[in-house]
């Protein structure tokens, strides 16, 4: 088309609409601020599952947009502890439709095992198959991706003396296949199985040549995948149209459950000790196919101290009795791998960096109750390198390993907050701690977590 025949911006504006009628009822700009987002602001396990569960009481659709079953999100309802890895946690609410977007990587056996396990625990997951939609553009994690993840870790250990500490869920390998354009998607699985089988064989052989010790029974794998294709076919939708129909029709409340966290983001995290997806706000748009204007609130979830599972720099880590108290009181064990989480004080430098990227509109400060026993509580407020204050969160891991943290010391409250349900009823020093975090970051704290259960949350405004 020559530039002369294109509709001008003025022509579009003067008619009030584009001369070309939209080809689909939703093929127009999405209404603004319809989508709320929950994101991890540290190194994961901040309590996103619990915050999502709370917000899902008032949501129609809860989405995952990135990551895979490396995530482990806990929801405690009526004393039953559910753990979600691929399924959006909001599915526990019977009125919610769950959606797994195109940015997520799906291990099908893992998905069904997770659903079965949670179904046995309580009522929450009833009818889940009819309440789950999966994007046809989501990539599939195969068993050989998971096995290759394990081999890569072993090779790193043998060749460089240290690994990344991955969850071995195949996340790095499957996102590599996606970027290399040799991955397979849900739409491939549920359409022409012969074509899918040919591409599966090519990919499996590539993996076998990269990792000769891999044992892949191609025929056997394809038999299993054919069964999964039948099971998931009714759930697979064109994800972009699915989410846009929800955006455009009768107003629906859409909630996005971030997995992993800002400092594990492939671009902004503590690379290479990160995961392989964008766990910051940009991943919401690319992982669901929605424009940025449709995003309203972006809630950051911040643990009242810091934890990290796996390898990598951790400036405020407390490799001492304080770390042990946080680990024991906080039951800090990974939900996906069962590994002990490393623990330390809250780090405001890291949180400011996460806020720059995500633009949090409010925070949920979780696990305040874990700090109940301390006489003094420290908060990392700035970093020094070779004795000189540095104004930023460094990209380079060797540098981050060398920073010296400057702390502010606040008085503890030494009393049980677990039954507190209003901000006013918190001990004075706990209020001071919350205000200090809020004022230092310039972000309002909307919720404060004081226990595992759905009820153990203080709503501040
Ligand atoms: P997620 O990955 O961000 O969803 O967090 P995880 O589920 O991996 O880890 C958070 C852990 O802390 C879970 O065991 C939660 O049940 C628990 N938890 C969440 N919020 C609170 C809180 O405010 N207080 C206490 N004591 N535990 C909490
Ligand atoms: P949730 O959603 C904590 C960490 C792993 C490892 C690194 C890379 O529960 O907060 P991967 O398997 O993704 O290649 O591992 O990232 N990691 C997490 N740590 N919580 C998570 O998710 C994590 N997802 C990945 O421990 O260090
Ligand atoms: Mg977790």
Same fold, 35-136+238-459 and 139-234: no
Sign of CA dihedral 200, 201, 202, 203: positive
Which residues, other chains included, contact 255 with Cβ-Cβ below 8 Å and sequence gap of 6+? 35, 36, 37, 38, 52, 55, 56, 59, 61, 62, 63, 90
378 alpha carbon to ligand 3 midpoint, in Å?
24
Is 45 known to be catalytic?
A: yes
Q: State the SS3 of 77-116.
A: ECCEEEEECCCCHHHHCCCCEEEECCCEEECHHHHHHHHH
pLDDT at 21: 54
Gap between the Cα atoms of 52 and 62, Å rounded: 8
Helix or strand run (H / E) with residue 242: helix 239-248
> Where are the chain's structural domains?
35-136+238-459, 139-234
- Rg of the chain over Cα atoms, rounded to whole angstroms, equals 23
Q: Is the CB of 40 under 6 A from ligand 2?
A: yes
Q: Tell me, what's the pLDDT at 23?
A: 67
- What's the N-to-C CA distance of the chain in angstroms? 54
- Give the pLDDT confidence score for residue 22 in this predicted structure: 57
- Residue 34: predicted pLDDT: 87
Give me the tens of pLDDT residue by residue for the chain, a chain 461 residues long. 333 444 444 433 334 444 455 567 676 777 778 899 999 999 999 999 999 999 999 999 999 999 999 999 999 999 999 999 999 999 999 999 999 999 999 999 999 999 999 999 988 888 999 999 999 999 999 999 999 999 999 999 999 898 999 999 999 999 999 999 999 999 999 999 999 999 999 999 999 999 999 999 999 999 999 999 999 999 999 999 999 999 987 879 999 999 999 999 999 999 999 999 999 999 999 999 999 999 999 999 999 999 999 889 999 999 999 999 999 999 999 888 898 999 999 999 999 999 999 999 999 999 999 999 999 999 999 999 999 999 899 999 999 999 999 999 999 999 999 999 999 999 999 999 999 999 999 999 999 999 999 999 999 99
Q: Which one of the listed residues 53, 73, 85, 149 is annotated catalytic?
A: 73
Q: What is the pLDDT of residue 122?
A: 83
**CATH class name, domain 35-136+238-459:** alpha beta
**Are residues 39 and 443 in contact, defined by beta-carbon separation less than 8 angstroms?**
no
Say if ligand 2 is within 6 A of residue 394 CB.
no
Task: Provide the token pair at 187.
Answer: 């739409």
Q: What is the pTM of this model?
A: 0.95
Q: How far apart are CA 114 and CA 100, in angstroms?
A: 14
d(CA 286, CA 65): 8
Q: Is the peptide bond before 272 cis (omega within 30 degrees of 0)?
A: yes
3-state secondary structure of 61: strand
Strand order in the sheet with 295-303: 236-237, 132-135, 97-100, 61-64, 254-257, 35-40, 295-303, 362-366, 445-449, 457-459
Sort strands 61-64 and 254-257 into parallel, antiparallel or unpaired. parallel
CB of 64 sitting under 6 A from ligand 1: no
pLDDT at 206: 97
Give the CATH number of domain 139-234: 1.10.300.10
- How many CB atoms sit inside 10 A of residue 240's CB? 17
The reply to whether ligand 1 has any atom less than 6 angstroms from the CB of 243 is no
DSSP structural state of residue 120: H
Instruction: Supply the pLDDT for residue 251.
Output: 79
Predicted confidence at residue 13, as pLDDT, reads 39
Shortest-distance Cα residue to atom 9 of ligand 1: 45
């Amino acid at each position: 088309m020559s530039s002369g025949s294109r509709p001008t911006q003025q022509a579009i504006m003067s008619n009030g609409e584009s001369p070309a009628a939209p080809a689909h009822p939703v093929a127009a700009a999405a209404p603004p601020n319809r989508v709320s987002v929950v994101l991890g602001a540290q190194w994961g396990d901040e309590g996103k599952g619990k915050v999502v569960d709370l917000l899902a009481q008032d949501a129609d659709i809860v989405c995952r947009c990135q990551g895979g079953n490396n995530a482990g999100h806990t929801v405690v309802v009526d004393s039953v502890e559910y753990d979600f890895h691929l399924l959006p946690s909001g599915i526990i609410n019977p009125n919610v439709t769950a959606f797994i977007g195109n940015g997520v990587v799906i291990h099908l056996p893992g998905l069904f095992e997770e659903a079965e396990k949670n179904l046995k625990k309580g009522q929450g997951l009833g009818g889940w198959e009819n309440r789950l939609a999966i994007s046809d553009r989501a990539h599939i994690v195969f068993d050989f991706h998971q096995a290759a993840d394990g081999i890569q870790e072993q090779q790193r250990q043998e060749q460089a003396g240290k690994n990344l500490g991955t969850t071995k869920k195949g996340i790095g390998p499957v996102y590599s296949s996606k970027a290399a354009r040799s991955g397979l998607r849900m739409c491939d699985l549920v359409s022409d199985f012969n074509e899918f089988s040919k591409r599966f064989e090519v990919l499996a052989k590539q993996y076998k040549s990269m990792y000769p010790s891999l044992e892949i029974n191609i025929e056997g794998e394809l038999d299993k995948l054919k069964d999964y294709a039948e099971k998931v076919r009714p759930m697979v939708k064109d994800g972009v149209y699915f989410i846009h129909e929800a955006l455009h029709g009768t107003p629906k409340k859409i909630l996005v459950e971030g997995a992993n966290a800002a400092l594990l983001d492939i671009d902004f995290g503590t690379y290479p000790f990160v995961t392989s997806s964008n766990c910051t706000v940009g991943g919401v748009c690319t992982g669901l196919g929605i424009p940025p204007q449709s995003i309203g609130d972006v809630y950051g979830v911040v643990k009242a101290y810091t934890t990290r599972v796996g390898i990598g720099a951790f400036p405020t880590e407390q490799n001492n009795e304080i770390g042990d108290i946080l680990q024991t009181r906080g039951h800090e064990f990974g939900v996906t791998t069962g590994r002990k989480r490393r623990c330390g004080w809250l780090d405001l430098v890291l949180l400011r960096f996460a806020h720059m990227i995500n633009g949090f509109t409010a925070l949920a400060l979780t696990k305040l109750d874990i700090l109940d026993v301390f006489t003094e509580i420290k908060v990392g407020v700035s970093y020094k390198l070779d004795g000189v204050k540095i104004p930023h969160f460094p990209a380079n891991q060797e540098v981050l390993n060398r920073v010296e943290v400057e702390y502010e010391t606040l008085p503890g409250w030494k009393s049980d907050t677990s039954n507190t349900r209003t901000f006013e009823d918190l001990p004075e020093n706990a209020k001071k701690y919350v205000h200090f975090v809020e004022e230092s970051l310039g972000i309002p704290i909307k919720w404060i977590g004081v226990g595992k259960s759905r009820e153990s949350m203080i709503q501040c405004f």
